[in-house]
């Protein structure tokens, strides 16, 4: 029997790389999608890397085609790729607006449309959209309207798609992240943030992986937004 197959965007580093490891450890074959990959990231029997801009429809098509052609199916899509630019609303440039919407919304649209079509043909599947807790709990010390606009759109789309496709076996959920410590950021940039979280620490990549794998296994959960933020969205 062939293993289940997950497509993970933003897969080359940070949370995305952690998700690739987590899903492979859980017995999944994985198609990782990213703008570029390290040279030491070769295709393996249970993993294939697709390099390209997720905002490009052809990148989405290649990723879904690889999942189907190499592994025979698409069971899960994790829309992890995203751009975060935080600044005062009136200081955003048109280039920044176009860059954020291209990845956070257009990229989501292309690959999710293709993946859900494959899932419907197979009788089921699961989509997880990665959002931010700033959608629910804005912070005046960290203005971020464009990330909130685009990632908030993914939360709304998750609920809408969950209802639209529930009768066809496709679940759609979101995870809304707080501050997560990743190897690609300067450790000094997290200094002092622990005290601002109700749980008193910064999130780790493993916290995100565990939460998404929970949603993967929770087959009676759909249309849900799971906050992985140390209590930030609860008002802390």
DSSP letter string over 36-50?
A: ---TT---BTTEEEE
The number of distinct structural domains making up the chain is: 1
pLDDT at 39: 63
- Give the CATH number, domain containing residue 198: 3.40.50.720
Q: At 236, is the pLDDT very low, low, confident or very high (cuts 50, 70, 90)?
A: low
* DSSP category for residue 131: E
Whole-angstrom distance, CA of residue 18 vs CA of residue 209: 7
Tell me the pLDDT tens digit for each residue of 71-120: 999 999 999 999 999 999 999 999 999 999 999 999 999 999 999 999 99
- Exposure on the CB side of residue 54, measured as CA atoms within 13 A: 32
Domain around 66: 5-234
Whole-angstrom distance, CA of residue 100 vs CA of residue 103: 6
Whole-angstrom distance, CA of residue 230 vs CA of residue 236: 9
* DSSP category for residue 137: S
Tokens of 60: 């989405």
């Amino acid at each position: 029997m062939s293993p289940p197959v997950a497509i993970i965007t933003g897969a080359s580093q940070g949370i995305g790389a952690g998700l690739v490891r987590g899903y492979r450890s859980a017995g999944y074959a994985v198609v990782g999608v990213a703008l570029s990959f390290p040279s030491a990231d070769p295709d393996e029997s249970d993993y294939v890397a697709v390099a390209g801009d997720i905002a490009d429809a052809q990148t989405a098509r290649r990723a879904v085609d690889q999942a189907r052609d190499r592994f025979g199916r698409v069971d899960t899509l994790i829309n992890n790729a995203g751009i975060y630019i935080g600044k005062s609303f009136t200081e955003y440039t048109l280039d920044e607006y176009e860059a954020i919407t291209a990845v956070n919304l257009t990229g989501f649209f292309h690959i999710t449309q293709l993946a859900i079509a494959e899932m419907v043909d197979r009788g089921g599947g699961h989509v997880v959209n990665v959002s931010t807790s700033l959608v629910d709990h804005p912070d005046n010390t960290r203005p971020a309207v464009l990330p909130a606009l685009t990632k908030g759109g993914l939360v709304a789309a998750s609920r809408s798609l969950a209802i639209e496709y529930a009768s066809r076996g496709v679940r759609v959920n979101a995870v809304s992240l707080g501050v997560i410590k990743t190897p690609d950021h300067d450790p000094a940039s997290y200094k002092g943030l622990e005290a601002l979280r109700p749980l008193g620490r910064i999130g780790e990549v493993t916290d995100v992986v565990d939460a998404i794998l929970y949603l993967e296994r929770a087959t009676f959960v759909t249309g849900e937004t799971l906050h992985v933020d140390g209590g930030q969205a609860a008002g802390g």
